[in-house]
Amino acid sequence: MRLGIDLGGTKIEIVALDRDGAVRLRRRTTTPAEYPAMIEAIARLVEEADRETGARGTVGVGIPGSLSPATGLVRNANSQALNGQPLDRDLAAALGREVRVTNDANCLAMSEAAAGAGAGHRTVFAVIIGTGCGAGIVTSGRILDGPNRTGGEWGHTPLPWMRPDEFPGPRCWCGRHGCIETFLCGPALAADCDGPGARDAGSIPARAAAGEAKAAAALARHTDRLARALGMIANILDPDIVVLGGGLSNMAHLYSDVPPLMAAHVFGDVARTSIVRARHGDSSGVFGAARLWDAG
Ligand SMILES: [Zn+2]
């Protein structure tokens, strides 16, 4: 049995996948505010899953952040209770088994590469565009990562082919200016359309379709920026397929409008990269976490 846990800011979800990838159990609970209570809540979910499935599962955990290779502590999580904690060691102690922890974009990439929109493709570049903007890379069934554990941290590279009016770009929470995330995430699109402080981009496509010029212009800028940001990825990684997840991945125009715009930024004379919507939607985090032991 493979247990996957998605540790989010508001909920903790667990899924148990059997050998064939069928869901044997799925459950969620509210995320406690304090760190020790989070460990207890996860331990309870795993104990229940072990008992109800009659098997001791492997455990993978997706978090909105990563483990520092220098300290082993959680960093860059948008949950203050989680930052600075030795999550994998504490969970291993609580569960009596080794635990694998990775970020939610890597989980999306694993889930979609194994049994989603990226199935059958060698290199999958999976993007979460929602409250933030991040990516994960799976190639030949494995997460591509290295000594800094920053593989796929595309959201914190500068927007490429920046125009004069875009330079140097908004200040990012990571301390830099002009990160892709500061242009592409939902709040960035909302603010570009409706001014500082606007947070909700969900209504913008409908407003653009209804003829609101401001909404259409903001969408066009956002689409062009995503095309540039993915064109750069084609020139470095050349993934077979790009899978979009997160709240903004529901915007249908991205799948028709980004590929032709992207072609202008891909070096050479072909631009064949497919861009598709994630198949598992919000469930990708938990499914991908369950698959963190798949590659051995
Ligand atoms: Zn940044």
- Separation between Cα atoms, residue 45 and residue 23, nearest integer Å: 15
Residue 58 to residues 64, 78, 95, 98, Cα–Cα distance (Å)? 20, 26, 10, 8
Residue 179 alpha carbon to ligand 1 centre in Å = 5
- Separation between Cα atoms, residue 281 and residue 283, nearest integer Å: 5
Q: In the chain, list all ranges with CATH 3.30.420.40.
A: 2-107+283-290, 119-278
**Do residues 252 and 244 make contact, with C-beta atoms less than 8 angstroms apart?**
no
Mean pLDDT for the stretch of residues 266-294: 94
Residue 198 to residues 2, 27, 133, 195, 233, Cα–Cα distance (Å)? 41, 33, 17, 6, 29
Q: Binning pLDDT at 50, 70 and 90, where does residue 76 land?
A: confident
- Separation between Cα atoms, residue 262 and residue 238, nearest integer Å: 12
Mean pLDDT for the stretch of residues 241-252: 96
DSSP state of 66: E
Query: Helix or strand or coil: residue 179?
Result: strand
Q: Across the chain, which distance is largest between two alpha carbons, in Å?
A: 61
- Taking each helix axis from N to C end, the angle separating 213-236 and 253-263, rounded to the nearest 10 degrees, works out to 50
Length reported for the chain: 296
Residue 200 alpha carbon to ligand 1 centre in Å = 20
Backbone φ and ψ for 240, nearest 5 degrees, come out as -70, -30
Torsion angle of alpha carbons 88, 91, 92, 94, nearest 10°? 160
Q: Is the pLDDT of residue 26 over 90?
A: yes
Mean pLDDT for the stretch of residues 54-68: 95
Residue 157 alpha carbon to ligand 1 centre in Å = 7
- Separation between Cα atoms, residue 137 and residue 36, nearest integer Å: 31
Residue 184 alpha carbon to ligand 1 centre in Å = 12
Q: Is the pLDDT of residue 273 over 90?
A: yes
Structure tokens at 133: 């903007």
Contacts of 227 (CB under 8 A, 6+ apart): 257, 258, 259, 261, 262, 264, 265
Residue 194 alpha carbon to ligand 1 centre in Å = 22
Mean pLDDT for the stretch of residues 120-130: 97
Strand partners, 17: 2, 23
What percent of the chain lies above the pLDDT cut of 90?
92
- Taking each helix axis from N to C end, the angle separating 186-194 and 213-236, rounded to the nearest 10 degrees, works out to 140
pLDDT value of residue 207: 98
Residue 78 alpha carbon to ligand 1 centre in Å = 13
Q: Give kind and range of the element (H or E) at residue 249.
A: none
* Phi-psi region at 272: left, alpha or beta (left = phi > 0; alpha = psi -120 to 50): alpha
- Separation between Cα atoms, residue 67 and residue 80, nearest integer Å: 14
- Separation between Cα atoms, residue 184 and residue 210, nearest integer Å: 22
Superfamily of 2-107+283-290 according to CATH:
ATPase, nucleotide binding domain (3.30.420.40)
Q: Is the pLDDT of residue 78 over 80?
A: no
Residue 270 alpha carbon to ligand 1 centre in Å = 31
Backbone φ and ψ for 107, nearest 5 degrees, come out as -65, -45
Mean pLDDT for the stretch of residues 94-110: 96
Q: Mean pLDDT in the chain?
A: 96
Residue 120 alpha carbon to ligand 1 centre in Å = 32
> pLDDT by residue (tens digit) across 136-165?
999 999 999 999 999 999 999 999 999 999
Q: Is the pLDDT of residue 214 over 90?
A: yes
Q: What CATH number does domain 119-278 carry, 3.40.50.12160, 3.40.50.620, 3.30.420.40, 3.30.300.10?
A: 3.30.420.40
